[in-house]
């Protein structure tokens, strides 16, 4: 485009206007006969609206921008001659890119009013507006631009063809990039809206499912309680029978203890689901709070004596009648004390104290401060803030008889909060833990909808929740394990389980048929297995510290124990998760609860299988190495043994002691291993291999019997002959004759 030419085109109009000092003034009000069509929007053009009451300006601008294109699109002009016309066009065309706007039209500020209308009323921030005025400096540029949100300000004389070009180009470029961003923004907004809606609907579904789960939980827990109560009560009746045999009584006690434990857990789950559903209220009663605390705390005295724990009770003797939620206070103290007893080892110290403070706290005049302090293992500081989280259990490798559920403390905190109380803990590893609970007493601090008042009941003896809580701690010594040795030739079975009741149960099931030995955790299980080389191991899968899988892996890769069959006990839920691990390690698994007879049959089957394998190995062991490349740990062990004997075959001083030393095993380990694999003692194996070599040498015509005798490490001819006859049914000389 020839800009100079166009500039002249503009300038040619100037003389007319110079006369009255106004640019383009003369052409004002001269309306065109026909307005250009402004209605049809064309998507392939930039819409530029020319607003001016002088037709000349319209035609000059159109002419000047003739042939203009940007990004391959030309201009579609729209024309308006007044404010009203402009408004109509604006409402019809939402995609106007640029407006050249006259200031003075029907009023002196008509153009500026339109800017306000576009920006403030229509909220249109995208259309570019270039203001044109006849008077240079009619309004100070910056001020106008700032006040009216226009994009450029030009006097009419300034808008020569060249300038119109650049102004149009710059404005369309701005419009284009603003619209690009706007488009992006709208798309993003749309995506965000869609995602938010998606998340909201998912959230609603999750909440519904959660409520369903809570309801289900609560229903199921309820359903559990009835049958459990129907188990516990008749058991209690049976247990009082004085004529009961001791082992029957033990069994009943074990059933009772475990039924109570289950009931305790079910009750805890029920409480949690009530709290989740927001349906747990305070059930307050007017009663002697100290009496309740003393009852709970004293119920642990027998346990303390048995555990030789120094148990300090500091609960006031006087009567403290007030309103409080008895059930919740009991549960809080029971949880804390039962944890203290669960985690404090023998000869430790536990203190339980209660004091009353009268400072105003949580709207109540008086509050109770309970403290349970122990000298147990403590809790690592980085885990202190997590122990009140639901299902959280401290992972410190500390051996526990009862591994727990991680519910107790979270429930304790919920119950405390429900009563407007607080719970805190201070603990340092190896020194012990101190749990502190503060609870406002009375009902002044409670709003009416938070509680119901119930009649107080005198309670005689231990309530069910106390019994449930105490059932967590077995009466026996925590790590009490038994050895049962019947006759010497019965197979030895090692039982590894962290739960003593389960050990007892297995022991009672097996003691008629097997010699038994026990370990109360995986680590001890491994040590015992290596030391005694049992004929079979029954181990639990889930154990704190070293679990059944690890035990299996260790023993199966240790050549001293690799042959020992292992039966894994698993809860049904664990079977699927662990089946892969079991395939690589254990020889069999049994799901809990298991049937006594089934366990015995499985043990006998495995021992029988071992016997068959033993025959196979015994026939196979010879001085020729095995051909197959992949060897089990047991085959490698046998080959190792064979190589050692072969290397020493001519040495008549090579005996069991040298053999053990070279194998890196104790006499007992080597004896039990070879007995298990080959049913041969180490001595027998050495002798058999020597005799095998003798036969080989005879076939090779190595020499006479005496030479061969010494060559295979016998230093006594008649002993060699005796052994040879025992094994092959012929004397060496007869044998030689037969093959010769």
Residues within the interface to ligand ADP (CB under 6 A): 339-340, 343, 374, 376-377, 379, 387, 392-394, 404-410, 433
CB of 680 to ligand ADP, least distance (A): 50
Residue pair 565/605 in contact (Cβ under 8 Å)? The answer is no
Tokens of 271: 């409480």
Q: How far apart are CA 388 and CA 68, in angstroms?
A: 74
DSSP 439: E
Q: Which residues of 310-339 are buried (b: 16+ CB within 10 A; e: fewer)?
A: ebebebeeeebebbbbbbbbbbbbbbbbbb
Pairing of strands 310-314, 349-357: parallel
CB of 406 to ligand ADP, least distance (A): 4
CB of 351 to ligand ADP, least distance (A): 12
CB of 399 to ligand ADP, least distance (A): 12
CB of 342 to ligand ADP, least distance (A): 6
Q: Which is nearer to ligand ADP, 94 or 386 (CB)?
A: 386
State how far Cα 314 lies from the chain centre.
40
Q: Which is nearer to ligand ADP, 429 or 442 (CB)?
A: 429
CB of 692 to ligand ADP, least distance (A): 59
Listing from the earlier edge strand, what are the strands of the sheet with 74-80? 74-80, 45-51, 96-102, 128-133, 152-155
Sign of CA dihedral 345, 351, 352, 358: negative
Q: How far apart are CA 244 and CA 251, in angstroms?
A: 11
Q: Which residues of 128-167 are buried (b: 16+ CB within 10 A; e: fewer)?
A: bbbbbbbeeeebebeebbeebebbbbbbbbebbbebbbeb
List, in order, residues 6 or more apart from 203 with CB less than 8 Å away: none
CB of 272 to ligand ADP, least distance (A): 11
CB of 513 to ligand ADP, least distance (A): 36
Q: Which is nearer to ligand ADP, 405 or 679 (CB)?
A: 405
Q: Which is nearer to ligand ADP, 393 or 462 (CB)?
A: 393
* Helices assigned H by DSSP within 65-123: 83-92, 110-116
Q: Which is nearer to ligand ADP, 260 or 621 (CB)?
A: 260
Q: Which is nearer to ligand ADP, 408 or 581 (CB)?
A: 408
User: Pick from 569, 430, 553: which is nearest to 496 by CA?
Assistant: 569
CB of 340 to ligand ADP, least distance (A): 5
Tokens of 312: 């300090």
First to last CA, the chain: 122
Q: How far apart are CA 289 and CA 299, in angstroms?
A: 16
Tokens of 459: 């309670």
Residue number of the CB atom closest to ligand ADP: 404
CB of 507 to ligand ADP, least distance (A): 26
CB of 405 to ligand ADP, least distance (A): 4
Q: Which is nearer to ligand ADP, 268 or 648 (CB)?
A: 268
Q: Which is nearer to ligand ADP, 404 or 585 (CB)?
A: 404
Q: Which is nearer to ligand ADP, 41 or 406 (CB)?
A: 406
Q: Which is nearer to ligand ADP, 170 or 434 (CB)?
A: 434
Residue pair 56/81 in contact (Cβ under 8 Å)? The answer is no
Q: Which is nearer to ligand ADP, 50 or 387 (CB)?
A: 387
List, in order, residues 6 or more apart from 359 with CB less than 8 Å away: 367
Determine the length of the chain.
Answer: 740
Residue pair 373/337 in contact (Cβ under 8 Å)? The answer is no
């Amino acid at each position: 485009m020839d800009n100079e030419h166009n500039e002249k085109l503009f300038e040619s109009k100037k003389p007319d206007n110079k006369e009255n000092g106004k640019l383009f003034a003369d052409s004002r009000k001269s309306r065109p006969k026909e307005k250009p069509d402004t209605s049809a929007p064309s998507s392939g053009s930039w819409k530029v609206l020319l607003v001016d009451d002088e037709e000349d300006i319209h035609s000059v601008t159109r002419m000047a921008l003739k042939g203009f294109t940007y990004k391959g699109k030309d201009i579609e002009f729209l024309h308006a001659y007044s404010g009203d016309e402009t408004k109509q066009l604006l409402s019809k065309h939402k995609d106007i890119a640029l407006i050249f706007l006259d200031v003075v039209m029907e009023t002196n500020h008509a153009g500026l009013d339109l800017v306000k209308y576009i920006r403030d009323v229509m909220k249109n921030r995208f259309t570019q507006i270039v203001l044109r005025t006849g008077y240079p400096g009619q309004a100070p540029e910056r001020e106008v631009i700032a006040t009216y949100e226009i994009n450029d300000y030009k006097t009419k004389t300034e808008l020569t063809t060249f300038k119109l070009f650049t102004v149009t180009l710059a404005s369309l470029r701005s419009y284009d990039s603003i619209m690009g961003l706007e488009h992006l923004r709208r798309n993003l907004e749309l995506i965000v809206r869609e995602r938010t809606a998606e998340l909201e609907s998912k959230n609603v579904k999750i909440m519904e499912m959660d409520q369903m789960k809570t309801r289900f939980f609560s229903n199921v827990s309820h359903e559990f309680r009835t049958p459990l109560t129907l188990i516990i009560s008749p058991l209690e009746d049976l247990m009082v029978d004085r004529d009961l045999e001791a082992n029957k009584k033990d069994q009943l006690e074990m059933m009772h203890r475990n039924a109570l434990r289950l009931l305790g857990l079910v009750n805890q789950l029920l409480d949690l689901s009530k709290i989740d559903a927001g349906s747990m209220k305070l059930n307050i009663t007017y009663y002697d709070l100290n009496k309740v605390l003393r009852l709970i705390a004293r119920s642990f005295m027998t346990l303390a004596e048995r555990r030789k724990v120094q148990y300090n009770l500091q609960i006031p003797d006087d009567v403290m009648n007030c309103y409080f939620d008895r059930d919740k206070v009991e549960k809080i103290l029971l949880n804390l004390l039962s944890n203290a007893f669960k985690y404090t080892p023998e000869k430790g110290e536990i203190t339980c104290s209660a004091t009353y403070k009268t400072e105003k706290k949580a709207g109540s005049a008086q509050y109770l401060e309970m403290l349970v302090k122990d000298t147990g293992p403590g809790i690592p500081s980085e885990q202190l803030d997590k122990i009140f989280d639901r299902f959280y259990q401290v992972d410190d490798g500390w051996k526990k008889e009862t591994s727990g559920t991680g519910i107790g403390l979270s429930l304790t905190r919920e119950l405390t909060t429900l009563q407007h109380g607080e719970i805190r803990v201070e603990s340092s590893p190896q020194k012990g833990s101190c749990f502190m609970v503060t609870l406002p007493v009375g009902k002044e601090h409670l709003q009416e909808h938070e509680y119901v008042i119930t009649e107080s009941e005198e309670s005689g003896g231990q309530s069910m929740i106390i019994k449930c809580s105490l059932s967590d701690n077995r009466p026996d010594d925590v790590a009490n394990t038994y050895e049962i040795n019947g006759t010497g030739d019965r197979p030895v079975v090692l039982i590894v389980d962290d739960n003593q009741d389960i050990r007892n149960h297995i022991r009672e099931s097996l003691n008629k048929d097997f010699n038994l030995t026990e370990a109360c955790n995986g680590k001890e299980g491994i040590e015992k297995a290596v030391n005694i080389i049992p004929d079979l191991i029954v181990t639990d899968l889930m154990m704190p510290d070293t679990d059944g899988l690890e035990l299996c892996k260790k023993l199966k890769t240790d050549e001293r124990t690799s042959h020992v069959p292992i039966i894994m006990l698993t809860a049904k839920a664990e079977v699927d998760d662990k089946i892969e691990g079991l395939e690589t390690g254990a020889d069999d698994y049994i799901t809990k609860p298991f049937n006594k007879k089934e366990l015995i049959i499985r043990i006998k089957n495995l021992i029988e299988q071992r016997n068959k394998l033993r025959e196979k190995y015994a026939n196979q062991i010879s001085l020729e190495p095995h051909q197959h490349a992949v060897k089990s740990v047991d085959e490698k062990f046998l080959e190792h043994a064979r190589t050692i004997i072969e290397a020493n075959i001519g040495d008549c001083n090579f005996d069991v002691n040298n053999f053990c030393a070279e194998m890196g095993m104790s006499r007992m380990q080597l004896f039990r291993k070879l007995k298990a694999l080959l049913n041969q003692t180490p001595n027998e194996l050495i002798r058999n291999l020597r005799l095998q070599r003798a036969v080989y040498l005879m076939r090779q015509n190595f020499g006479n019997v005496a030479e061969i005798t010494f060559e295979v490490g016998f230093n006594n001819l008649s002993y060699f002959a005796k052994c040879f006859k025992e094994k092959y049914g012929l004397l060496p000389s007869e044998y030689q004759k037969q093959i010769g």
